[in-house]
Amino acid sequence: MTIRIGIAGIAGRMGRLLAEETAAAGATLAGGTIRPGASLDSLPPGLPVMTDIVALCAACDVVIDFTHAHAARAHALAAAETGTPLVLGSSGLSAGDEAAVAEMAARVPIVYAANFAPGVNLFLAIAERMAAALPGAQYDAEIVEMHHRQKVDAPSGTAVALGRAVAAGRGTTLEEAGRESGRDGHCGARGTGTIGFAALRGGQVVGEHTLIFAAASEQISLTHKSFDRRVYATGAVRAALWVKGRPAGLYGMKDVLGM
């Protein structure tokens, strides 16, 4: 039986790409939610559209959500109430949002990732291994990211995930290690062992992330660049195909990719 995939925010830029990749994967596009007043011109004719996320979840085998952080709790709750697996790719979730998503994952399988590009997830795995080999007392870790001018959250979800990977490699958490960002003026010397973030915004950059380890005698950096948002949509649809039939739990792209 063909899997039925629903897309939250299907009229948006990512929503349209997700619809295209769903069809390309041979799955059934079962419907999507739209904001009141949104244009339907770009959607396939006859596609069921609705404004109620619960109705969408009830009509699908899996729902993919790349809408907005403020909707994550409600969408995770709707998925849990209807027993519908969820693929969540919204960025900028607060700690409370993430805790709420994890709570709902006890009732239904949820794939939640900061980034669905396979290359980025390999980047995260390498970052953790590099951090384990390059101690914070000698190697300062700095993360520089750039995105299009419309992006509303900073640092990006992927940058935060990189910070968490570095902290994990060093046997700690990002919160315990400490974050440094937004340096301006006489802000004092850099803290030892902290993880630095710099967020750049401009033009229509899809996504660029660089992790730098800088010591007194050497420096090493690793960079990932996304050239097309479609890579995120392709990865999300792959996650949707993977998560159907899985037991309740909070999964990541490492699980989907078998890493």
Q: Which amino acids are annotated catalytic?
A: 147, 151
Report which of 49, 20, 19 is spatially closest to residue 36, judged by C-alpha positions: 49
Buried b (16+ CB within 10 A) or exposed e, 27-45: bebbbbbbeeebeeeebee
- Give CA 180 to chain center in angstroms: 22
- Rounded to whole angstroms, the Cα distance separating 157 from 179 reads 14
- Rounded to whole angstroms, the Cα distance separating 174 from 162 reads 10
Token code pair at residue 116: 């669905």
Angle (CA) 151 128 123, round 5°: 50
- DSSP notation for 153-191: SSS-HHHHHHHHHHHHHTTS-HHHH-EEE---SS--SPP
